[in-house]
Amino acid sequence: MIPFFNLKPLHDELSGPLRDAVARVVASGWYVLGPEVEAFERELAEFLTTQHAVGVANGTDAIELALRAMGISPGAEVITVSHTAVPTVSAIERAGARAVLVDIDRETYTLDPTCLDNAITPRTEAIVPVHLYGHPANMPAIVEIAQRHNLAVIEDCAQALGANCHGRPVSTWGNAAALSFYPTKNLGACGDAGAVVTNETSIAENVKRLRSYGQVDRDHFEERGINSRLDEIQAAILRIKLRRIDIELAGRRCLAEEYNKVLRGVATPVERPDCTHAYCLYVVRHPQRDLLREACQRSGIGTLVHYPIPVHRQRAYANLGYAEGSLPETEAAAAEVVSLPLYVGLTREEVRRVAQTLSQCLAGAQA
């Protein structure tokens, strides 16, 4: 069996340090927004070369709080993509804004900057590019358009920790960025966790206040916030994993390169010049995607699809008003992409077995 994802090898390797970190927090008697969170925030900001990192409860909250911290107006339009996890759009709506969805670049599956000018209206206040699967969106083009129209940029980096664009880490291009530390991410907690990172002190201070009900001290609340506090145990776990994140990223890259070398007959991930893919997910593409998944299942190989139903085709978001066919590249990708196993502990031999299974399936389909 080759599962789609398996945390056990990594956690077995780190079992001692992880147990010690949890025991340290339990013994301290301080469990929410304490010294572990403060230390993690400093270390994360240093790793990402940003001035500030603010720990929050999850990646969805991070997007919402970043938008609110920037003062996005109620009912304002925020442009993002439909080919993303639903939480991206959910967070925009929770911030009181209206999501405007644009199409994606066919090769990188990220926001297509050429779609922005037609989507911008006098009500537009922000753009949320999603660095999907770990490949950076075209940030130079997006930032140039945003500056020309005086729009905020909040990067959705949930799947892109470790990615770079033109020599700069993703999360350093916009006014702020949102990160998720869901267990399956490149840097994963043992539960939910997230962060907002920014070089703007005012945004960081606003997020710190908003993540705790708008509280400025024990008895005073300046505005209506939410409960989105990172707990000490998750911060301690993330500190352990952050110390070896470069090893994790290098391992993912080696496995992706092995896939690229041995896979035939499917479209493998593109890595644009001047970009570094973080490979949170290894996503291939083929018109007979479902046939490939069935072959993998029969061979004991796990796969997933990220994401088979775009946000604009979800029943919950039908009121956004996008008809079928309105975002053609998004809908084409949703029908053809499939994510293959990629995690610490996956071996090159297992990668070759996945590739062999796909090759045999395609050969049989063509016979």
367 residues of the chain, pLDDT tens digit each: 999 999 999 999 999 999 999 999 999 999 999 999 999 999 999 999 999 999 999 999 999 999 999 999 999 999 999 999 999 999 999 999 999 999 999 999 999 999 999 999 999 999 999 999 999 999 999 999 999 999 999 999 999 999 999 999 999 999 999 999 999 999 999 999 999 999 999 999 999 999 999 999 889 999 999 999 999 999 999 999 999 999 999 999 999 999 999 999 999 999 999 999 999 999 999 999 999 999 999 999 999 999 999 999 999 999 999 999 999 999 999 999 999 999 999 999 999 999 999 999 998 877 5
Q: What DSSP character marks residue 152?
A: E
Rounded distance, CA 108 to CA 210, Å?
Answer: 34
Contacts of 95 (CB under 8 A, 6+ apart): 63, 64, 67, 68, 72, 78
Containing 17, the helix (H) or strand (E) segment is: helix 15-28
Q: What is the pTM of this model?
A: 0.96
Please state which CATH number belongs to domain 8-242.
3.40.640.10
Domain extents in the chain = 8-242, 245-366
Which top CATH class is 245-366?
alpha beta
Rounded distance, CA 314 to CA 362, Å?
Answer: 31
Rounded distance, CA 110 to CA 287, Å?
Answer: 20
